[in-house]
Structures are given as structure tokens and as C-alpha cells.
Amino acid sequence: MLEGKPMKNVAIFGLAIVLLIFSCSKDVSPSSSDNSSTGEGGSMAAMTIVGNYMYRIAGGNTIEVYDISGDSTAKLVASVAAGNGLETVFPYKQNLRIGTSNGMLIYDISNGANPTYVSTYTHVVSCDPVVAQGNYAYVTLRNGNRCTRGLTQLEVIDISNLGNPTLVKTVPMVMPHGLDADGKNLIVGEGTYGFKWFDISNPTNPTEILFNKTVPGYDIISRGNSFILVGDKGLYQYEYGNKTLNLLSTIPVARP
Amino acid sequence: MMKIITPLAILLLVMGGCDNPRWNSGFTQMGYKPVYASSGDLKLLIKSSPAKALTETGKIYTKGNLLLVNQPFQGVHVIDNTDPANPINTSFLEIPGNIDVSIKGDFMYADYSGKIVVIDISDISHPRVTQNVTLDTRFQEYPPQADLTRDFTWRTYFECPDPKKGVVVGWVYANLNSPKCWRENQ
């Protein structure tokens, strides 16, 4: 009670120290901001970290689980046979979404070391990365390669009931590769054909805002008001505008 | 007269038959070329090199202001993305055979020839291998199965490795001159 003022001084002093410490920590080389956090890959990624485990698609048919609680080591603790044609892995809440050559698999990882099969969303044979947001997963199916029976489209899948993913919408595409959903924005790479920007304010009805046909899109990471896109011509970063994209920067590919 | 023309015609035919440019030296084909090193010890091969131009792009990965762009089977371009309007290509982290990376805290988990190598990147300009792996012998013989970085082909051409040139530590996608080796994909 009587120490009101000194306590306040101590608090201010403490705050000053904290501010001083933070203002002194200057990054000399690009580094990640905090020590336990994980980074973010694009939808083409074949490995991902959730908590103390790293999940990796190996040999197209196995989900490998590595215990990385020791940080400096990655110990293989499980190899889960999950069928053929596995390509990409995307974490969402307590699940892994696995893009396969004929759809999407969902594995529960509430027990991190032991992914358990939940369900399969199967369509025709195609190639498909997958991302998820809220109750919906967005999957691109691509034709024109080994997935010769496939379709070339974007599919919106209702995953509110994980045990029974259901198709709610199909959008025709040209040659879709990676994609990323972020808030009301969905960017889909169209390989060498460019990339598309969709409005997903209504998540079940992606509405095309624009189709950039000059910048090839292969893998995408969207982050708030901007996104990073990589493709045959290089690395591009854009800021979302009102129906237009503002090119922030380019690191072009130099052909040898 | 016929006695001369017939052998001449046959000779011409035979010569024409030989003139198949595909099997003469000089046909070019995109495929994989081995990258050689004097040692197969990954600990010595994983290192930071000066920044180089992006020549072929793979997957991307971000953490904080760090942005990594994979150069398939070679490593990652390290980009300081503090200002997305002015990303700075700072260095190249050489990881032979690499396609995918992920990061937690100060550690990078990178695939290498089907295995996982762990690298302390608390100072990414001085990477330190904390979990090493040994070279896969198959890697010495043919390139890894093509991944999602390019469209699938049924046949992947590559330059036949020559053990006299050293240990194969990586494969680069390049224009090959009359490659004599290939693998069938499925």
C-alpha cells in the first residue's frame, strides 16, 4: 500500500531495461525471430514441422516421423505406410493433409509420434498440392504428366467433418501447381502459364480476380497483405491491392 | 551400267541410314549432370558460399525475415526479406542433393539423398552440421527420382557418372550432350 510510488519506479525501470535489451538486439544476418518457432513452407513442401515432430513424405508411399525435441538431432521414430503417390504434406491444426496423386489423405497427429489415418478424399488420378483454411481445403489437380487420367482444376473440399471430406466446388484451371489460402485471398500457381488470384471471402466459391499470364507460378507463400511466389522466371513478391496486385520486388532467374 | 549404279545406290542408302542425327554425337537433351567432390563427407560439403544468381528455382521456405529458395539438388539461396520490397540475396547454403528444408528455432532439417541432415543455422553464414548422414551409394549411380520441381517425363536422361572424377555429391539439371545414361520413371 505505502510503496505505491517506488513500485511504479521499479516497473518503469524494468520496462526501460526490457526496451533497452530489445533495441540492442540487432540482426546482422537474416534470422528467424524467435527460438522455438517453426518456419513456413509452401504447398509443394514434402516435409513439415508440428511441435516436436517433423513429418516427411518419403519414397512416395511413406510418412516418416522424426522426433526433433532434441533440436540438434532428428530421430526417426515412425514410418507409416500410407499408400502410393504421396507428394506433399500440409499441417493444419492437429492434422496432416497429404496431397497424393489421387486426392487427399487426412492423418490425425494429436499423438505426434503416431499419425493415425482419418480419411481419404479421392478423385481421379492427378497431381495435387493441398492447403486448408477453416472448414475448407483447396486442392489443385493437374493433368499433363504421369497423372494422365487426371483433371486440371481447383477443388474446394468441405472438411468440417474430417471423417467425410466432400467436394463443394470445382474451378477449371490450366496447369495448377502450388497454392496458398490466406484470409480472403487464394493464390494458385499455373506453372509456366502464370498465376491466378481468387477472392475466397465466400470460401466455397473462389472468384477469380486476375490471371497474370506473364509470371510463372510454381510455389507460393502468402503472408497477410503480401505474398511470395516462385517460378521459372524468378522470385516475385506482391502486395494485395484493391483488385490489383502491387509488385514489390523481383529476383529474376538468370539462365546460365 | 547397272552394275555400277546398283552398288552406288546401295552405298547411298546405307550412308543415308547412318545419318541419324539422334545417335550421332551432337544431339542435346535436358537432363542431370553429376556434381563431383573430392570427399563424400557431407560435413565438409555443407557450407555457406557467396550469393549466387537464381538459375533454377525449387520450393520456398520462410521463417521470420529469412526467405529460402531451393536450387534443386544443390542447396538454398539465403535471402534477407526484412523488406519485401528490397529482398537481399545474401548467400548460398550448399546442401548437395537437397529439395526440401524446414526450420525450427535455430535448426534446419534438410533432406539429402533420401535422408535427413540437421544444421545449426543460428548464424546461417556459418552453418554447422549437428547430425550427419552418409552418402547413399545409389546416389553415385543415378540422379534421384525427379520431384515436383518439373513436369514428369517417362525417361530421365543423365550423364553417366565417372568415378575417376570423384564422388557424386549432387546432380544439376542441364543441357546434356549426347547423354548415354537414362532411367525410366514410373
Tens-place pLDDT, residues A71-128: 999 999 999 999 888 888 989 889 999 988 777 899 999 999 999 999 988 765 555 6
Nearest to A42 among B60, B99, B130 (CB): B60
- Round to whole Å and give the CA distance between A89 and A100: 9
List the one residue out of B79, B143, B158, B149 whose CA is nearest residue A191. B149
Q: What is the pLDDT of residue A29?
A: 45
Q: What mean pLDDT comes out for the span B132-144? A: 73
Tens-place pLDDT, residues B107-134: 999 988 678 999 999 999 999 999 988 7
- Round to whole Å and give the CA distance between B140 and B122: 31
Q: Residue A219 pLDDT more than 80? A: yes
**What percent of chain B stands above pLDDT 70?**
77
Binning pLDDT at 50, 70 and 90, where does residue A225 land? very high
Q: What is the pLDDT of residue A103?
A: 78
Q: Residue A129 pLDDT more than 80? A: no
Contacts of B42 (CB under 8 A, 6+ apart): B96, B112, B117, B129, B132, B133, B134, B135
Binning pLDDT at 50, 70 and 90, where does residue B157 land? confident
Q: What is the pLDDT of residue B33?
A: 87
| Residue B157, min C-alpha distance to chain A (Å) | 17
CB contact under 8 A, B99 and A46: yes
Contacts of B101 in chain A (CB under 8 A): 47
Q: What mean pLDDT comes out for the span A145-163? A: 75
Q: In Å, how far are A148, A191, B15, B178 from A143, measured between CA atoms?
A: 6, 12, 42, 30
- Return the minimum-mean-pLDDT range out of A127-136, A161-170, A204-213, B175-184: A127-136
Q: Residue B143 pLDDT more than 70? A: yes
Q: Residue A19 pLDDT more than 70? A: no
> Do B159 and B146 contact (CB within 8 A), yes or no?
no
Better pLDDT: B178 or A206 = A206
Compute the mean pLDDT over every residue in chain B, rounded to the nearest whole number.
80
| Residue B128, min C-alpha distance to chain A (Å) | 10
Other Cβ atoms within 10 Å of A165 Cβ, number: 24
Q: What is the pLDDT of residue A152?
A: 81
> Do B99 and B117 contact (CB within 8 A), yes or no?
no
Binning pLDDT at 50, 70 and 90, where does residue B44 land? confident
Cell numbers standing for residue B152: 514428369
Give Cα B162 to chain centroid, integer Å.
16
Q: What is the pLDDT of residue B169?
A: 75
Q: What is the pLDDT of residue A35?
A: 55
Phi/psi region, residue A201 (left: phi>0; alpha: psi -120 to 50; beta: rest), is alpha
Q: What mean pLDDT comes out for the span A184-209? A: 95
Q: What mean pLDDT comes out for the span A169-189? A: 91
Nearest to A32 among B60, B66, B101 (CB): B66
User: At which residue does the C-alpha cell 549426347 appear?
Assistant: B178
Q: In Å, how far are A12, A48, A55, A79, A139 from A67, measured between CA atoms?
A: 42, 12, 9, 12, 28
Q: What mean pLDDT comes out for the span B148-161? A: 71
CB contact under 8 A, A44 and B59: yes
Binning pLDDT at 50, 70 and 90, where does residue A26 land? very low
Tens-place pLDDT, residues B12-37: 443 433 333 444 456 788 888 888 87
Nearest to B64 among A33, A177, A235 (CB): A33
CB contact under 8 A, A39 and B63: yes
Q: What is the pLDDT of residue B167?
A: 82
Q: Which helix H or strand E contains B80, and what residues bound it?
A: strand B75-80
